[in-house]
Amino acid sequence: MNDNKIIERLNRSFEYLSGQSIRIMEVCGTHTRAILKSGIRYILPKEVLLLSGPGCPVCVTPESYIDIAISISDIKDVILVTFGDMMRVKGTYNSLSDKKAQGSKITVVYSPEDVLNIAVNNRDKLVVFAAAGFETTAPLIAVTVKLARSRGLDNLFFLTALKRIEPVIRFILQDERNKINAMICPGHVASIIGAEHFRFITEEFGIPAVVCGFESQDIAAGICLLLEQLTGKRRVEFMNLYKRCVSSTGNAIAQRMIYEVFDTADGDWRGIGTIRNSALVLNDKYEQLDAAKRFEIKTEQYSSAVNCLCSEILLGLKLPKECSLFGSVCTPEHPTGPCMVSAEGACAAYFKYETYFRFGGDGRNG
């Protein structure tokens, strides 16, 4: 179906709204960015509100994790290695970028393979890989862990903040404050764990849900199908519209890597709190590579003194523009909250793209 036909079909679905308010959440940060970049948000009528969810791993990494990473970077003969988008996330007081500027040995890498090379080339140092992400990243981290073991790299350790997406979706849908009517499921995660993994959204919570791709026509088609179900033109069902990349059962090899290396545990989410069984942690076989256990660093958790609404934004309770700090105190150059740090954070995406469409729409959605 071409773009014009999708838009025509989308417009026809608007005719059946009859003034009802519809709240659709996209969970994935890549979807949030694509929706804002394409301007889809601005062709929707006022009855349809698109909300961003907690699908940005940088945004949900807790302050305590950053504090531990900073403490490790202060240890003599330690090289802390991380992905670049984690550098500016604030802990209780500082970010890794702040510590690097103060002289701490912190190195940015672009792939887990780089971590192995750093460990090989620095056998007289202890190398700690600070790795955050969802099920999309977990298989790569798992392979790196297995390679570290098989190559005898006893100087390489892992500080993980890996999250599972299903528990946080359940958390949101069970929250009485958040009246979500439909959901766009995360396509990247679905490619690993399978589309069927998200069927519970419809079967248990009774709302339509789709897995869709990241092109504008993919997202528009997904919204169209959701609206047709919500307005009674189609029966409510779960649908996979991203079959070119997402199978019903997912990537069996990637899943096996996750199961071989990680166990599930309760996980802390920035601005949300502890969610049961939402984290992936190194299992007993690989726990000797766990940096948190190796260095036995204890941190206290503090409440942020900054009146930032990132927690409400991550849960779909608020839009970025409703935060008093947005665009003034908090900008991509000087982020206050985590949602402004990553390019896939809701606040950063709003800040970058809303001006493109501000005068073409009424500003309601952005």
pLDDT for 285-319, tens place per residue? 999 999 999 998 775 555 555 578 998 999 999 99
Angstrom distance (rounded) from CA 108 to CA 118: 11
Contacts of 357 (CB under 8 A, 6+ apart): 39, 41, 42, 366
pLDDT band at 331; cut points 50, 70, 90: very high
Domain ranges of the chain: 3-55+172-240, 59-165+251-295, 310-356
pLDDT band at 362; cut points 50, 70, 90: very low
The answer, yes or no, to whether residue 279 has pLDDT greater than 60, is yes
Decide if 3-55+172-240 and 59-165+251-295 have a common fold: yes
pLDDT of the residue at 154: 96
Q: 3-state class of 134 per DSSP?
A: coil
Type of residue found at 19: G
Q: 3-state class of 93 per DSSP?
A: coil
The model's pLDDT over 74-108, given as tens digits with 9 standing for 90+, comes to 999 999 999 998 999 989 889 999 999 999 999 99
Mean pLDDT of 150-167: 97
Question: Could you tell me which of 9, 72, 5, 2 has the C-alpha nearest to residue 225?
Answer: 9
Q: Under CATH, what is the fold of the domain 3-55+172-240?
A: Rossmann fold (3.40.50)
CATH class of 59-165+251-295: alpha beta
- Contact criterion met (CB below 8 Å) for 206 and 236: yes
Higher pLDDT residue, 11 or 243? 243
Angstrom distance (rounded) from CA 51 to CA 314: 9
Mean pLDDT of 191-209: 97
pLDDT band at 360; cut points 50, 70, 90: very low
Mean pLDDT of 130-134: 94
**CA distances from residue 322 to 51, 56, 224 in whole angstroms, order as listed:** 13, 19, 27
